[in-house]
Structure 1
């Protein structure tokens, strides 16, 4: 079973202790760090691959909600708080679940099982945040991806999504046997190529340039295909 790397972000020692005990009781959860506030957590997220946050909402320096909204590529989140009035806003940012303190281990387990189901389904899918929603896109449905500076446009079937991400970060999440970068601004699904014409690739109605820097790698993959 896939292990889920998680961190606890809470400024109350008693809440930290309860969450630590609960996390240790679930064999697929791996606790990477207990953080006292969001600034500490941000450093962990920059250094570690984290799949899931247990995030208190009412904290010093910056609230859990504002912190989560500020993340460019946020992990899944389970909000934990003593204040029920935050529930609606929590779900507006696509929280996996919302735990109202004090909560039982059974209720905790329901929440983490939801996260596990999402991450398990994500094995052959790309999880993207766009339009204030979480989208699971099959890798096989993706045609190509176009960088737009701090955003990327993901074309899939006859649709597209725009999400806040660097192209380089997104490339790390794509299966290498399916996708290849052909230009500083383009990554394509190799199996979706219709025509190669000079220094351009045609995928359906879309004409994608092949950059000089990427041409040799693309040619090698084409020859071995």
Structure 2
């Protein structure tokens, strides 16, 4: 069953964007949107518990911070969506789970949701760890691709985008290597061996000199800066003989 989501924002354009983002993630479902925070407060206070609330902060009559204090016990995950950085401490005080600064991209939104769903899964909400994520590709407008961790061979940084090599295809997306690394670092299955490459430890076939051979005849160079940490990983995982 999808996670139920409520969106509260006095700007219809913002609601439209967040709704579109939510609809791109199959695990989420929008059940109600509000442009009036007072109406939202009344309905949520009198209703059942909801999984996600996406809420603006700077709204008329009552701020998102004050509204969150009234409904915090009715939502599992509270995410502020705001154009202002000045409310970050207030958001921390009301135990917000995330703080998305407008305008935020779908990639940023999806990574935030994936992290929260993974945390929720680890504490028994769905009983299953997060094993995948979504990226928006460069090929078509509004085309999103689901990628499983265990199918990733390597990730390459190329100018202003990255290329994700999987067991079945190559995917190009406008992310940075740092952004994708934050997501992959949630597992212990990936290692950076070059300033332009992250690789899957699970798919390493062999290491010859300064090259790592991956499936599909992919050869990835080992960068000087990353050489020590990579060989430390190899040494830890190499069976050694006790014979002289």
What TM-score range do you get, normalising by the shorter chain? 0.5 to 0.7
TM-score normalised to structure 2 length: 0.54
* Residue 167 in structure 1 maps to residue 164 in structure 2: no
Among 199, 206, 222, the alignment partner of 2:210 is 199
Query: How far apart are the structure 2 equivalents of 1:139 and 1:73?
Result: 16
Match of 2:16 in 1: none
Conservation of the 8 A alpha-carbon contact between 2:9 and 2:55: no
Structure 1 residues 187 and 49: alpha-carbon distance in aligned structure 2, compared to 1, 3 A threshold = farther
Match of 1:9 in 2: 9
Superposed CA offset, 1:60-116 (max 9, x none): xxxxxxx76x7262415xxxxxxxxxxxxxxxxxxxxxxxxxxxxxxxxxxxxxxx9
Query: How far apart are the structure 1 equivalents of 2:42 and 2:167?
Result: 45
Gaps of at least 5 residues in structure 1 are 54-66, 77-115
Name the SS for the 1:216 alignment partner: helix
Gaps of at least 5 residues in structure 2 are 13-33, 61-80, 89-95, 111-119, 238-244
Post-superposition shift, 1:216?
A: 1.1
Name the SS for the 1:177 alignment partner: coil
Structure 1 residues 20 and 161: alpha-carbon distance in aligned structure 2, compared to 1, 3 A threshold = farther
Q: Describe how 1:110-189 pairs up with structure 2 within 5 A.
A: 123-130=130-137, 131=140, 132-174=142-184, 175-189=186-200
Name the SS for the 1:158 alignment partner: coil
Query: How far apart are the structure 1 equivalents of 2:147 and 2:53?
Result: 26
TM-score normalised to structure 1 length: 0.58
Residue correspondences, number: 165
Query: How far apart are the structure 2 equivalents of 1:189 and 1:151?
Result: 19
